[in-house]
Amino acid sequence: MLFDVAFTTGAFTDCILNTGAIFVRGNSHVGHIWSRALDRMGEEWGDDQKALAAIVRPTLYPSVTAGPGSIIRFMPVDPYNLAPAHPGEDCRRGYILHFRGPRKAWMKDYCAKWLGIGEPNEWIALPNTPAEERFNNVFLNSKRDVPWVHKETEPHGGHAVLVGGGPSLLDDLAEIFRRQEDGQTVFALNGAAHWLKDRGLIPDYQVILDPRPENVRFVEPPVAKKYLIGSQCHPSVFDRLSQHDVTLFHHAEDGIEGYFEGNPVVIGGGVTVGLVAMALVYALGYRKLHLYGYDSSDRDGEGHVYSQGETNAESSRREIWLDRRKFTCSPGMFAQANAFEGFARMMADHGALITVHGSGLLPSIARKMAGLPF
């Protein structure tokens, strides 16, 4: 049946009428509908829809009504005016794509993924220290009388318990205790070492990669039994640990080989200590890896289970969606979570068994990889 104007409707809580798309047949005289609606308009968000609804009296089911001087048709928003609820919802069945409500940060990414329109947003985590400073640290620290990770250790049956500083760490503390009591080796990353020590658990190792001088705070005072320190770390970290059991490792980076002598193994993993630590314990012969505090997202507005200052770049936050779930994370958190799936699959292909505990973006990615609910 021909109609003069068509509206779409859906089971929305505020008003079932959706004015994101309105179909008007050419040369139809429907202006009187809007004239009458204007008389009912308020000043609140959504009053345009409510005013029109009062005139046309929409129905949720497809129907055709003869309005005052016009034939009005109602059609379902799905598929005629499809509004995705989250970035994981495929809209390609729709006739019109409608981002209902306020502007959403993920609209550009959504159009690139599902419609092939434009390019997705880029969010790159850059090193927090210039290359010149990092390489100068490598040069100075490589002259120290400390052992290096020179070659890969043969695989053994040990379990590596890698502890990051994510907010969910508090939920899993008892399990980490149990693993250490069972003889598993605890590798605490950055400030997680002090957090564990304050709760009665002395880490077997502390792992530090960040080259900034202020990160000497991670070893003020030293709290672990042993230390694995990246050669790019500030020399003050090595100075503070001069009376302790320290092993230096070289982080894989283009050009780093020119700043030390010899041919040791270089440890990959990217720009975050979390992924680098996974590669590091693999090089030390561990094939069973258990990840805790690898949230890679905020909880209740906090990125760590302990207080930690952030630079302007680190304090930047963005909404990241994994199917229907929304997470908030910094550039570094996002970089780690984004790289995790490919990196974990590569390690698994080389014999690693990785378990991921806790909550947040990265553990949710891991559960999705395993086909588990998240």
131-369: which CATH topology? Answer: sialyltransferase cstii, chain A (3.90.1480)
Query: Has residue 68 got a pLDDT over 70?
Result: no
Mean pLDDT of the region 115-126: 78
Determine which of 17-31, 97-111, 233-247, 331-345 has the lowest per-residue pLDDT on average.
97-111
Q: Can you tell me the mean pLDDT for 241-255?
A: 95
Q: What is the mean pLDDT of residues 182-198?
A: 97
Contact status, residue 282 vs residue 347, Cβ threshold 8 Å: yes
Asked whether residue 105 carries a pLDDT value surpassing 80, the answer given is: no
CA distance 125 to 75: 45
22: number of Cβ within 10 Å: 16
Rounded percentage of the chain residues whose pLDDT exceeds 70: 95
Average pLDDT for 93-98: 90
**Ranges 28-32, 102-106, 218-222, 269-273: which has the least confidence:** 102-106
Residue type present at position 328: T
Average confidence (pLDDT) over 355-374: 93
pLDDT for 89: 83
Q: Are 209 and 251 in contact (CB under 8 A)?
A: yes
Higher pLDDT, 311 or 112: 112
Q: 265, 150 in Cβ contact below 8 A? A: yes
Q: Give the lowest-confidence range in 140-149, 166-175, 214-223, 307-316.
A: 307-316
Mind giving me the DSSP string for 307-332? -----HHHH--EEEEETTEEEEE-HH
pLDDT higher than 80, residue 26: yes
Residues 6+ apart with CB under 8 A from 117: 111
For the segment 203-221, the average pLDDT, to the nearest whole number, is: 96
| pLDDT exceeds cutoff 80 at 295 | yes
Please tell me the predicted confidence (pLDDT) of residue 99.
83
The whole-number pLDDT of residue 314 equals: 64
The Cα 13–Cα 199 span in angstroms is 47
- Say which residues have a Cβ less than 8 Å from residue 264's Cβ, sequence separation at least 6: 148, 149, 150, 151, 250
Contact 33, 67 (CB under 8 A): yes
Mean pLDDT of the chain: 90
Instruction: Tell me the per-residue pLDDT of 47-63, one tens digit each, with 9 for 90 and over.
Output: 888 899 998 889 888 77
User: Which span out of 121-125, 254-258, 263-267 was modeled with the highest average pLDDT?
Assistant: 263-267
Q: Where are the beta strands (DSSP E) in the chain?
A: 5-9, 17-24, 63-66, 71-76, 159-163, 185-189, 205-208, 226-230, 246-251, 266-267, 288-292, 318-322, 325-329, 353-356
Residue 251 bridge partners (DSSP): 267
Annotated domain spans of the chain = 5-115, 131-369
Question: What is the per-residue pLDDT across 132-162, written as a single tens digit (0 to 9) for each?
Answer: 999 999 999 999 999 999 999 999 999 999 9
Average pLDDT over residues 21-39: 89
Structure tokens at 207: 């792992």
What is the average pLDDT across 200-218?
96
pLDDT at 317: 87
What pLDDT was estimated at residue 271?
Answer: 78
Lowest-pLDDT range, 177-191, 196-210, 297-311, 337-351?
297-311
What are the tens digits of pLDDT across the range 303-313? 999 887 656 55
127 has pLDDT over 70: yes
Q: Which of 90-99, 190-199, 277-286, 335-344 has the lowest mean pLDDT?
A: 90-99
Measured CA to CA in angstroms, residue 220 lies from 215, 236, 311 at distances of 9, 11, 20
Q: What pLDDT is recorded for position 104?
A: 74
